[in-house]
């Protein structure tokens, strides 16, 4: 058929149709967002407040976490009921067992004096415990699925990437291209920014080294005051201790199996320790204070 | 005004675009995670991806063993089992719940078997104190016990050391729910042969006289109250009367051992300091850093010859290098040599020398030395130095103690003269090359110029000068009334008068340096 120029009314009608279609589509999308948010394993009070991007981000992160749990070595299988309790004892201890065993994770989290997190090889938080708000004032929802490098002091990016076994990615403006070997010895004042790339930084990747990790980095904290004179204000020093989780993978073209790192599972403590501030003094104790060079600056009379 | 509107709209458009792009990226990422979205040939639209995602999550929820179905406790973002595994991988620890009054272990998690080698069955229901190191029992009791403190005890704030004002009545908050605890204690570690031998080497384990080893655990947790009936059904009648039990919930973990060091070694920069000296080797500038290495303050060393500090084994080598640097335009590296520090011991240095030539007079003005510490005092390295000539050694031993001055000066005098000698050789070559001036070609020429300096210096000496001059008569060059005769033992071996003069002058300088803190940096050497 011959195409003729649509008239003014026709054009208007078409516009209105598309507007309606868009509105209806948006409505359907919003409904799905809402549904998706409800499926997230978070309290309803939180999920109802989430913006759309966060809903997607948390969903993605949750699915990654499932893969992390099931495909890594050893796989994190759920605890079976009759595993380790003998039948005799079971009845008498069932209550305590129920109370604690089932919610072991929650109790552990509450008892710890730090927070826990999992970082993927892409440098994203796959999981971070809600207790991070106690120590850093950051929100679990905001951090889950985000890049760790957004929350670590820029000067510590290189170290973090190294520990994870990934290559730090430099912005083009920085103008320097670092070989993986020299990345570790780069000055801390480098203009690193942007998302680091996944991938092993050296031929013998992180999987060949012992999985244990222990290092110190500075993370953003809303609890420290941002002062003009303090260089690292707004950051807290974190002692990270944990392990790299790997999964077995077959080398293509051979029967050899290698271990590919999936991410880091770690415990984080703020320094100086924030939990207990009071020490009980006996009668045979006295207090003295020293400088960093062990020079006594104050001593009690007794 | 239209332009202004446009300005606002531009960034807003960009903001919108960025938001849309971000959302699209997220949707793409999400579709990659959903199995149902995978095999599609073309990219799915947003709505479909969302729908499939919801379906996927619903399926997962249904498949899970009711991990999320618990309505009593708020859902956590991780299934509880995963969290347990996670924490186990992150830290080697176990959960411990004890009654505060009896220290009966109400609950202990499975992971204890990995750490203490006891099964959880062996421990549950036992008294905690049976497993704590005897010396730590008191501390653990304290952590579990009531808040009343005996009067001789007091609370001190750990961060400031200042005493916290304890209220007169017992603080109830100490025992209250939520009160936190953090302490270290040693727990028994059962040595079951063969089972975990060698695999779990606990660095914190210490041997006790009996068969038990202990490992140090960091216990952190909080106090909580529960209804007693629920918690401890095996409790006796007395228990039943108590409405609630105070319990301590803690996680006990092994402190992580030192992680393996990163591949790059920490490069410690060797201590370096810079010195500058005149062509005869006398220090004219000393870096402040030098004090940390040689012990002397810069002002103590200025004006003294570097040869005074060289070990006698190194003198010949250093002299050779000295000659070399004066004649070369390049940097000269010395071998490692020993430098005498203030308090006696020698520190091994290695230096790079470079001479600076005045572009107009074409004469060397000074030598810059960049010195690197090879090793500190106490490390005696055998250097492949050319053996010191016998004569120098004998000379050094022959010089008797000079009254009025500290010991060792005799050696100093001799050593310093080496520098001056070398410098004089250089100035001789300058004289030889330059057009002869009146009296300048004679070897005494330089001495003649030096002498007025000497007399100038003599006049500013303190009372010791009389004493000195009595013993060491100074021979002045012809043309000046000679006051004293030279009679310094050991100097007879000098080949030239000016060397002897230089030695005397050095002596005077040393004396002056000891008596006053004048520096001779601004004295212009008439070379």
What SS3 state is found at A115?
Answer: strand
B269 touches chain A (CB under 8 A): no
Euclidean distance between CA atoms B321 and B333, whole angstroms? 8
Q: Is A23 on the interface with B (CB under 8 A)?
A: no
B124 vs A93: CB contact, 8 Å cut-off?
yes
- Give the pLDDT of residue B316: 87
Tell me how far apart the alpha carbons of residues A234 and A151 are, in angstroms, rounded to a whole number: 11
The pLDDT, as a whole number, for residue B460 is 36
Contact criterion met (CB < 8 Å) for A96 and B97: yes
Cα dist from B124 to A97, B106, B118, B119, B120, whole Å: 10, 6, 10, 9, 6
Q: Do A33 and B50 touch (CB under 8 A)?
A: yes
The partner residue sitting opposite B81, judged by closest CB among A33, A78, A84, is A78
The CATH architecture one would assign to domain B78-147+178-191+212-225+244-257 is 2-Layer Sandwich (3.30)
Nearest to B498 by CA among B408, B431, B398: B431
pTM: 0.57
Enter the tokens of residue B313: 């084994």
Which pair of structure tokens corresponds to residue A235? Answer: 């950051």
Alpha carbon distances (Å) from B159 to A111, A272, B155: 22, 9, 12
**Short-list B462, B463, B482, B481, CA closest to B473:** B482
pLDDT tens, N- to C-terminus, chain B (527 residues) = 555 565 666 688 888 899 889 988 888 888 888 887 777 656 778 888 888 888 888 888 776 544 444 443 445 556 666 777 777 777 788 888 888 888 888 888 888 888 888 888 888 888 888 889 888 888 888 888 755 455 556 666 666 656 655 444 444 445 566 778 888 888 888 775 444 444 444 444 444 444 578 888 889 888 888 776 666 656 555 555 666 778 888 888 887 655 555 555 566 777 888 999 998 889 999 988 888 888 888 888 898 888 888 888 888 888 888 988 888 888 889 889 989 888 878 888 999 999 998 888 888 889 999 998 887 654 433 333 333 333 344 333 433 333 333 334 444 456 777 778 888 888 888 777 765 444 333 343 344 344 443 433 333 333 444 444 444 444 444 444 433 444 444 444 444 556 666 666 766 665 555 544 444 444 444 44
* pLDDT tens-place string over residues B440-451: 333 433 443 444
Question: Closest Cα to residue B493, out of B413, B403, B422, B429?
Answer: B413
* Structural domains of chain A ordered from first start: 113-167+210-301 (3.30.450.20)
Angle at B154 between CA B151 and CA B159, to 5 degrees: 175
Widest pairwise Cα distance in chain B: 122
B298 min Cα distance to partner chain A (Å): 25
Cβ distance of B161 and A106 shorter than 8 Å: no
What is the reported pLDDT for B263?
52
Fold of B1-65: MYOD Basic-Helix-Loop-Helix Domain, subunit B (4.10.280)
Beta strand B337-340 pairing with B364-375: unpaired
Residues 6+ apart with CB under 8 A from B381: B336, B348, B374, B375
Q: Give the up-direction half-sphere exposure of residue B501: CA atoms within 13 A in the CB hemisphere.
A: 20
Say whether A29 and B220 touch across the interface (CB within 8 A): no
B411 near B399, Cβ under 8 Å?
yes
Low-confidence stretches of chain A (pLDDT < 70) are 1-6, 77-96, 168-208, 224-233, 272-282
Q: Specify the pLDDT at position B204.
A: 47
Say if the Cβ atoms of A275 and B220 lie within 8 Å: yes
Listed residue (B154, B395, B132) closest to B250, CA to CA: B132
Which part of chain B is CATH 3.30.450.20? Answer: 78-147+178-191+212-225+244-257, 271-377+415-422
CB distance from A247 to chain B under 8 Å? no
Tell me the H-state helices in A146-198: 157-164, 180-183
State pLDDT tens for residues B55-91: 888 888 776 544 444 443 445 556 666 777 777 777 7
Please tell me which residue of chain B has the smallest CA distance to A67: B33
Q: From the list A33, A78, A104, which residue is nearest B65 (CB)?
A: A78
Residues 6+ apart with CB under 8 A from A99: B107, B226, B230, B231
C-beta separation of A224 from A234 below 8 A: yes
Other beta carbons within 10 angstroms of residue B370's beta carbon come to 16
Q: Which of B53, B157, B259 sits opposite A277 (nearest CB)?
A: B157
Crossing angle of helices A52-71 and B46-63, in 10° steps, is: 40
Is the minimum CB–CB distance between B50 and chain A shorter than 8 Å? yes
Q: Do B53 and A102 touch (CB under 8 A)?
A: no
B139 close contact with A: CB closer than 8 A: no
pLDDT of residue B192: 59
- Residue A57: per-residue pLDDT: 92
SS3 state of residue B133: coil
> In the 8-state DSSP scheme, what is residue B473?
P
Q: Any CB–CB contact under 8 A between B86 and chain A?
A: yes
Closest CA to B159 of A295, A279, A223: A279
What is chain B's Cα-based Rg?
A: 42
pLDDT at B352: 92
What pLDDT score was predicted for residue B152?
56
CATH topology of domain B271-377+415-422: Beta-Lactamase (3.30.450)
- For residue A204, what is the DSSP state? S
ipTM for the predicted complex: 0.70
Task: Report the residue of chain A nearest B30, measured CA to CA.
Answer: A60
Residues of B in contact with A127 (CB under 8 A): 77-78, 86
Looking at the complex, does the CB of residue B257 fall below 8 Å from at least one CB of chain A? yes
Q: Please report residues of A whose CB lies closer than 8 A to that of B22.
A: 53
Give B392: exposed, middle or buried? Use CB within 10 Å, 0-12, 13-18, 19+: middle
CA angle at residue B75 from B72 to B76, to 5 degrees?
140
The residues in B 185-224 lying below 8 A from A, measured between CB atoms, are 220-222
What is the structure's pLDDT at B207?
Answer: 47
**Per-residue pLDDT at B450:** 42
In chain B, which residue's Cα lies nearest the Cα of A265?
Answer: B90
Residue A201 vs residues A165, A178, A252, B331, B506: alpha-carbon distances, Å: 6, 11, 20, 41, 62
Closest chain B residue to A162, measured at CA: B262
Q: Inter-chain contact A281–B153, Cβ cutoff 8 Å?
A: yes
List the single residue in A with minimal CA-CA distance to B235.
A92
Minimal Cβ distance to B95: which of A104, A118, A280: A104
**Contacting A residues, span 48-77, partner chain B, CB-CB under 8 Å:** 52-53, 56-60, 62-66, 69, 76-77
Q: For B234, phi and psi rounded to 5 degrees?
A: -85, 0
Q: Which of B47, B93, B154 is closest, CB to CB, to A32?
A: B47
**Contact: A281, B222; criterion CB under 8 Å:** no
Start and end residues for every CATH 4.10.280.10 domain found in chain B: 1-65
Choose from B89, B142, B155 for mutation: most chain A CBs within 10 A.
B89
């Amino acid at each position: 058929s011959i195409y003729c120029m649509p008239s003014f009314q026709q054009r208007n009608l078409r516009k209105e149709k598309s507007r309606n279609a868009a509105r209806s589509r948006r409505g359907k999308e919003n409904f799905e967002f809402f549904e998706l948010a409800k499926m997230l394993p978070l309290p309803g009070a939180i999920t109802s407040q989430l913006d759309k991007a966060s809903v997607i981000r948390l969903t993605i992160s949750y699915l990654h976490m499932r893969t992390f749990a099931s495909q890594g070595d050893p796989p994190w299988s759920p605890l079976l009921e009759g595993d380790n309790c003998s039948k005799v004892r079971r009845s008498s201890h069932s209550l305590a067992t129920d109370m604690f065993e089932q919610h072991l994770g929650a109790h552990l989290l509450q008892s710890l004096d730090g927070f826990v997190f999992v970082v993927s090889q892409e440098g994203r938080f796959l999981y971070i415990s809600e207790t991070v708000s106690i120590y850093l004032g950051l929100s679990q929802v905001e951090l889950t699925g985000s890049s760790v490098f957004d929350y670590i002091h820029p000067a510590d990016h290189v170290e973090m990437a190294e520990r994870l076994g990934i290559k730090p990615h430099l912005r083009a403006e920085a103008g320097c291209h670092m070989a993986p070997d020299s990345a570790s010895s780069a000055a801390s004042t480098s203009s690193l920014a942007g998302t680091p790339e996944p991938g092993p930084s050296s031929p013998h990747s992180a999987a060949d080294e012992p999985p244990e990790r222990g290092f110190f980095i500075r993370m953003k904290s809303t609890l420290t005051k941002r002062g003009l004179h303090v260089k690292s204000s707004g950051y807290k020093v974190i002692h990270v201790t944990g392990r790299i989780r790997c999964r077995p993978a077959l080398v293509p073209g051979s029967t050899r199996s290698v271990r590919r790192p999936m991410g880091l599972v770690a415990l984080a403590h703020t320094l100086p320790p924030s939990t207990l501030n009071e020490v009980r003094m006996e009668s045979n104790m006295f207090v003295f204070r020293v400088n960093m060079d062990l020079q006594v600056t104050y001593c009690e009379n007794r | 005004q239209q332009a202004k509107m446009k300005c606002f709209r531009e960034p807003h458009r960009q903001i919108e675009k960025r938001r849309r792009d971000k959302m699209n990226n997220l949707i793409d990422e999400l579709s990659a995670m959903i199995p149902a979205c995978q095999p599609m040939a073309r990219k799915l639209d947003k709505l479909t991806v969302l729908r499939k995602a919801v379906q996927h999550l619903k399926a997962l929820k249904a498949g899970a063993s009711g991990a999320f179905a618990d309505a009593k406790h708020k859902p956590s973002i991780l299934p509880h089992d995963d969290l347990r595994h996670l924490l186990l991988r992150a830290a080697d620890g176990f959960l411990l719940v004890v009654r505060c009054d009896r220290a009966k272990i109400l609950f202990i998690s499975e992971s204890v078997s990995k750490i203490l080698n006891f099964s959880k069955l062996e421990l549950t229901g036992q008294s905690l104190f049976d497993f704590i190191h005897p010396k730590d029992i008191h501390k653990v009791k304290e952590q579990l016990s009531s808040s009343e403190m005996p009067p001789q005890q007091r609370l001190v704030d750990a961060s400031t050391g200042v005493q916290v004002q304890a209220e007169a009545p017992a603080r109830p908050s100490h025992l209250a729910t939520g009160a936190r605890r953090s302490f270290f204690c040693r727990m028994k570690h059962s040595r079951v042969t063969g089972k975990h031998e060698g695999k779990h080497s606990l660095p914190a384990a210490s041997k006790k006289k009996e068969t038990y080893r202990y490992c140090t655990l960091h216990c952190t947790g909080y106090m909580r109250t529960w209804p007693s009936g629920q918690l401890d059904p095996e409790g006796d009648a007395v228990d039943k009367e108590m409405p609630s039990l105070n319990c301590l919930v803690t996680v006990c973990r092994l402190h992580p051992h030192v992680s393996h060091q990163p591949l790059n070694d920490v490069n410690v920069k060797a201590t370096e300091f810079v010195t500058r000296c005149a062509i005869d080797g006398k220090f004219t500038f000393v870096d402040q850093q030098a004090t940390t290495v040689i012990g002397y303050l810069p002002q103590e060393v200025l004006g003294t010859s570097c040869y005074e500090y060289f070990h006698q084994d190194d003198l010949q080598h250093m002299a050779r290098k000295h000659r070399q640097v004066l004649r070369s335009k390049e940097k000269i590296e010395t071998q490692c040599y020993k430098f005498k520090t203030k308090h006696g011991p020698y520190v091994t240095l290695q230096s790079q020398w470079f001479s600076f030539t005045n572009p107009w007079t074409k004469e060397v003005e000074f030598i810059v030395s960049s010195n690197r510490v090879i090793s500190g005092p106490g490390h005696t390295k055998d250097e492949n130095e050319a053996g010191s000539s016998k004569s120098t050694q004998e000379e050094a031993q022959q010089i008797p103690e000079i009254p009025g001055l500290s010991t060792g000066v005799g050696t100093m005098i001799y050593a310093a003269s080496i520098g001056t000698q070398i410098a004089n050789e250089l100035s001789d070559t300058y004289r030889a090359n330059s057009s002869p001036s009146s009296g300048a070609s004679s070897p005494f020429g330089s001495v003649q110029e030096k002498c007025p300096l000497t007399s100038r210096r003599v006049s500013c000496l303190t009372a010791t000068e009389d004493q000195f001059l009595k013993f060491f008569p100074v021979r002045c060059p012809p043309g000046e009334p000679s006051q004293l005769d030279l009679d310094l033992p050991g100097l007879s071996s000098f080949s030239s008068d000016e060397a002897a003069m230089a030695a005397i002058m050095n002596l005077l300088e040393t004396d002056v340096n000891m008596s006053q803190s004048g520096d001779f940096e601004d004295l212009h050497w008439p070379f």
